Amino acid sequence: MSAPEPMRGSGLYPAQWQLACAVLDEVLQGRAADRCLQAAFRERRNMGGRDRAWVTEMVYGVLRDLRRLRAMVGEGSSAALCAALLLRSERVSPERLQSLGVDVDALRARLAAHDDSALTAAERANVPDTIYQAWQLQYGDAAESLAAALCEQAPVDLRVNTLKCDRAEAQAALSEAGIEVQVTPYAPQGLRVARRAALQNLAIYRDGWIEPQDEGSQLLAMLMDAQPGETVIDYCAGAGGKTLALAAQMQDRGTLYAWDSDSTRLARLAPRLQRAGVHCVQIRTLGNDEEPEVQADAVLVDAPCSATGTWRRQPEARLKALDLPSLTTLQAQILARAARHVRPGGRLVYATCSLLDAENADIVEAFLAAHPQFELDDAGAELASAGITLPGRMLQLLPHQHGTDGFFAARLRRRMG
């Protein structure tokens, strides 16, 4: 894994060092890195942008190479892991680390004794053994490239809200604000930010012209082919990123249901709808009671999954224990429940941000075998009709090939008979 670019003209100070170690402690105990960092920065509003960048890069830098760093320093403290990262990448002088309380001589000895060739392929790739073995079977020699791509920093992708503007207008407004962007190679309403910026401070963001959304996620929504006036269900809506994309496809005309069992995540959708100027969405938390009797033209199931495809953005997610049998059972159950809401002739899109066949094609094939009233559409042909070249009966987006997060999607259709 390549080291981050040094931050020229800035030093590492005790406050940065202490905060990075404290946040990393929390993350290694099971908390989400982005949430921990946001909370820490909220409590320290006087901390400047360079300080925040140092803290963020130390935390994510360790997480992106955690297995190798642990092999170097053992199951030591967060401070040992941060120090090994900085000393190995030569981003901070040994004297500076020494002044922060690091035993540099002992650490140098450990790094010198480390033999990288003694690591397994999974350790070098910073991937749990069982997942790396599954990738070797599934992707062959490309497993190494896939794992390497997942250790890189993800780009910032935006979706242009066509209810407010077109892509050229959004690009011009961002350029005027000093934000350099390029059009995404696949998604027709996507923009990719050249370098990170505080987008939430821009009028174009506050006015709902743009919404952060990975290009791959935008393509999943496109597979729905949601039309104005239709009835559409986002069955596992979460915080509503794809709900917003579907509403724009529908030109805010028709009925779009945003359902999820997690009321906390759904609560984040309402202000996003208001900012985007969307009125066609009805939000509902699904509980143990009966689901609404709705027959829809299209249903999207973005199922709970291992999230292996999002590791660029959430490197700490690879630390979580994976109970794949329980997860695939849940995915099959959710897909079967959602399918009951698809009218004859309607579309059903099953999607995950997983890179494992067990959660993707295997779920779809088992569903089709048990539900002969559904058939598989050609995802590649549907995208081709929108001018997007991603051939394949099912869509599989891979970070090392497509530059997106890892996503899978299959579009099914309910037969008319």
pLDDT exceeds cutoff 90 at 11: no
Residue range 311-326: mean pLDDT, rounded: 94
Same domain, 203 and 272: no
Neighbours of 118 (CB within 10 A): 8
Final residue of a structural domain among 190, 212, 234:
212
Nearest to 308 by CA among 361, 238, 355, 357: 355
Sign of the C-alpha dihedral computed for residues 79, 85, 88 and 91 taken in this order: negative
Contact 167, 192 (CB under 8 A): no
d(CA 32, CA 49): 21
Residue range 373-396: mean pLDDT, rounded: 96
Sign of the C-alpha dihedral computed for residues 340, 288, 292 and 282 taken in this order: negative
- Distant-in-sequence, close-in-space partners of 288: CB < 8 Å, separation ≥ 6: none
Same domain, 301 and 176: no
pLDDT in tens, 155-210: 999 999 999 999 999 999 999 999 999 999 999 999 999 887 888 889 999 999 99
Predicted local confidence at residue 266, as pLDDT: 94
Q: Tell me which residue range forms the domain holding 187.
A: 156-212
pLDDT exceeds cutoff 70 at 211: yes
Q: Which residue has the higher pLDDT, 49 or 304?
A: 304
309 in a domain, yes or no?
yes
Query: Coil, helix or strand for 301?
Result: strand
Radius of gyration of the chain measured on its C-alpha atoms:
23
Same domain, 299 and 335: yes
pLDDT exceeds cutoff 70 at 139: yes
pLDDT exceeds cutoff 60 at 140: yes
**How many structural domains comprise the chain?**
3
Predicted local confidence at residue 2, as pLDDT: 37
Contact 305, 408 (CB under 8 A): no
Q: Is 353 among the catalytic positions?
A: yes
Same domain, 48 and 91: yes
Determine which of 20-29, 69-78, 232-241, 372-381 has the lowest per-residue pLDDT on average: 69-78
d(CA 18, CA 100): 9
Residue range 20-27: mean pLDDT, rounded: 96
Same domain, 44 and 93: yes
- pTM of the full structure: 0.92
pLDDT exceeds cutoff 50 at 73: yes
Final residue of a structural domain among 212, 239, 256:
212
Nearest to 296 by CA among 346, 248, 224: 346
Same domain, 271 and 326: yes
**H-helix or E-strand spanning residue 281:** strand 281-285
φ/ψ of residue 203, rounded to 5: -60, -35
pLDDT in tens, 104-117: 999 999 999 999 99
Same domain, 62 and 112: yes
Final residue of a structural domain among 181, 212, 243:
212
Neighbours of 6 (CB within 10 A): 11
- Distant-in-sequence, close-in-space partners of 293: CB < 8 Å, separation ≥ 6: none
Predicted local confidence at residue 90, as pLDDT: 86
Angle among Cα 353, 356, 362 to the nearest 5 degrees reads 105
- β-strands 156-160, 210-212 pairing: antiparallel
d(CA 170, CA 209): 7
**H-helix or E-strand spanning residue 42:** helix 33-42
Predicted local confidence at residue 5, as pLDDT: 40
pLDDT exceeds cutoff 50 at 286: yes
Burial of residue 75, with CB atoms counted within 10 A of its CB: 0-12 exposed, 13-18 middle, 19 or more buried: exposed
Predicted local confidence at residue 4, as pLDDT: 39
pLDDT band (50, 70, 90) for residue 8 = very low
d(CA 329, CA 110): 44
Same domain, 338 and 393: yes
Same domain, 277 and 241: yes
Predicted local confidence at residue 407, as pLDDT: 98
Predicted local confidence at residue 92, as pLDDT: 86
Percent of the chain with pLDDT over 70: 97
Give the range with max mean pLDDT: 88-97, 103-112, 328-337.
Answer: 328-337
